[in-house]
């Protein structure tokens, strides 16, 4: 008799689906789902994309889960040359793998600034799956280290989905991240996870939610390393900016500045805060959001003077924010020139955040939509695949 598909059922329950609800979402009978989970039959080819969509995974990941639960008849090696998911439980877990996957993660965070979500999501999700499986079979302090690493990989995947504009999947991965952080029992990773969830709330426009989560991260700040304090403080500042609190926002960024020079940990995550002008970027973004384009422009000029041209995704986001500040200051023609440099980067990186900044620019220039600058901007954005009739508002 085929083995029970344990991971399939666990994944379904983790997302809050009963067999009945999953069956309804896919368009099959509950008994069909039960047969899949008992390993009595495989999902039909037409059903696999639907199952993968509902379970928030790729079809390839679904096939890996099914193959693993059958005992590996279709063993899928998720990271070529390293190890396969199905074989993890059958081999010794080498401590050296913590260093290996930690170095890989640091490299992914660096590559993210240059490539964006489209190129990194497949490998990041695959490696997360391997790391989490290693955590489940490791023991002692090594197990805790793998849970910390799995937390960081979850944060990366959640961020990549956030940057790609898929907030539903991003929310799922942020929830996974926080659970794994608690499984690690490490206060730094728990604080990091809460700061990341606050960042997602900022992107969702939920200032109060961002402040609540950042405050939760900072509740035990006497135990937090400087990096986590910086990350949580600046997300709280963004939350306050969404709530219109300029003084509170500046105060928190000033507090973060005091800790920035003390960041000296070896964690592979959160190292964007070490970048030149990191908190200046946060302040400029907040000031633009608070309706102070002149202050934002002054900061953007300084920040972008030293920005690396190869960091295409981040540079595109920053330049789009600068263009919006210019438009709000009455310099629409210059804003459109900058937008022309940013538009090609949207397709290259798949960054929904960059696209959202351009749409924000368009909304700021709505009164000029029939003038030359507005028409030029509209033509560029329409060429990037936007529907002008829906996006002008």
Contact predicate 357/320, CB 8 Å: yes
User: What secondary structure does DSSP assign to 208-231, as a single string?
Assistant: HHHHHHHHHHHTTGGGS-HHHHHH
Cα dihedral sign for 275, 318, 213, 158?
negative
- Highest-pLDDT range among 93-102, 107-116, 198-207, 314-323: 198-207
* Predicted confidence (pLDDT) at residue 393 exceeds the cutoff of 70: no
Output the pLDDT for position 391: 39
Q: Where on the phi/psi map is residue 186: left (φ > 0), alpha (ψ -120 to 50), or beta?
A: beta
Q: How far apart are CA 336 and CA 342, in angstroms?
A: 10
* Predicted confidence (pLDDT) at residue 307 exceeds the cutoff of 50: yes
Q: How does the average pLDDT of the chain come out, rounded?
A: 85
* Predicted confidence (pLDDT) at residue 27 exceeds the cutoff of 80: yes
Burial of 387 (0-12, 13-18, 19+ CB in 10 A): exposed
Q: Which tens digits make up the pLDDT trace of 61-115?
A: 787 777 655 544 333 333 433 444 444 444 578 999 999 999 999 999 888 877 7
Contacts of 9 (CB under 8 A, 6+ apart): 37
* Predicted confidence (pLDDT) at residue 56 exceeds the cutoff of 80: no
Output the pLDDT for position 73: 39
Output the pLDDT for position 310: 52
User: What secondary structure does DSSP assign to 123-152, as a single string?
Assistant: HHHHHHHHHHHHHHH--HHHHHHHHHHHHH
Output the pLDDT for position 80: 38
| Residue 181 binned pLDDT confidence (cut-offs 50, 70, 90) | very high
Output the pLDDT for position 81: 36
Q: How far apart are CA 106 and CA 121, in angstroms?
A: 15
Output the pLDDT for position 312: 73
* Predicted confidence (pLDDT) at residue 265 exceeds the cutoff of 80: yes
Q: How far apart are CA 162 and CA 200, in angstroms?
A: 7
| Residue 308 binned pLDDT confidence (cut-offs 50, 70, 90) | low
Output the pLDDT for position 389: 38
Architecture of domain 6-76 in this structure: Orthogonal Bundle (1.10)
Of 116, 106, 113, 99, which is closest to residue 268 (Cα–Cα)? 106
* Predicted confidence (pLDDT) at residue 22 exceeds the cutoff of 50: yes
Q: Where are the domains of the chain?
A: 6-76, 308-393
**Which of 17-21, 70-74, 169-173, 360-364 has the least mean pLDDT?**
70-74
Output the pLDDT for position 208: 98
């Amino acid at each position: 008799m085929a083995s029970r598909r344990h991971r399939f059922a666990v994944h379904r329950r983790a997302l809050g689906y009963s067999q009945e609800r999953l069956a309804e979402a896919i368009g099959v009978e509950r008994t069909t789902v039960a047969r899949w989970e008992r390993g009595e039959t495989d999902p039909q080819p037409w059903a696999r994309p639907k199952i993968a969509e509902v379970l928030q995974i790729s079809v390839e990941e679904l096939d890996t889960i099914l193959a693993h639960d059958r005992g590996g008849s279709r063993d899928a090696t998720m990271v070529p040359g390293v190890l396969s998911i199905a074989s993890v439980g059958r081999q010794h877990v080498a401590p050296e793998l913590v260093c290996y996957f930690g170095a890989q993660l640091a490299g992914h965070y660096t590559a993210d600034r240059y490539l964006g979500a489209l190129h990194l999501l497949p490998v990041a999700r695959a490696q997360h799956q391997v790391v989490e499986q290693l955590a489940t079979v490791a023991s002692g302090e090594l197990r805790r280290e793998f849970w910390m690493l799995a937390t960081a990989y979850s944060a990366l995947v959640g961020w990549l989905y956030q940057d790609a504009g898929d907030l539903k999947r991003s929310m799922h991965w942020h929830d996974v991240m926080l659970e794994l952080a608690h499984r690690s029992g490490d206060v730094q990773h728990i604080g990091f996870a809460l700061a990341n969830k606050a960042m997602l709330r900022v992107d969702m426009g939920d200032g109060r939610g961002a402040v609540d989560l950042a405050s939760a991260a900072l509740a035990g700040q006497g135990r937090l390393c400087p990096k986590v304090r910086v990350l949580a403080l600046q997300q709280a500042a963004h939350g306050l900016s969404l709530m219109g609190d300029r003084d509170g926002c500046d105060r928190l960024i000033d507090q973060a500045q005091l800790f920035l020079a003390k960041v000296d940990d070896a964690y592979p995550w959160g190292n964007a805060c070490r970048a030149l002008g990191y908190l200046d970027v946060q302040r400029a973004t907040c000031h633009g959001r608070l309706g102070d384009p002149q202050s934002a422009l002054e900061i953007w000029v300084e920040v972008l003077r030293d920005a690396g041209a190869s960091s295409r995704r981040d540079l595109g986001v920053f330049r789009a924010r600068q263009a919006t500040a210019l438009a709000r200051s009455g310099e629409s023609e210059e804003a459109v020139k900058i937008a022309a440099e940013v538009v090609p980067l949207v397709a290259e990186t798949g960054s929904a955040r960059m696209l959202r900044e351009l749409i924000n620019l368009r909304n700021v220039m709505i009164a000029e939509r029939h003038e030359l600058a507005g028409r030029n901007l509209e033509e560029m954005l329409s060429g990037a695949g936007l529907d002008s009739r829906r996006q002008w508002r």
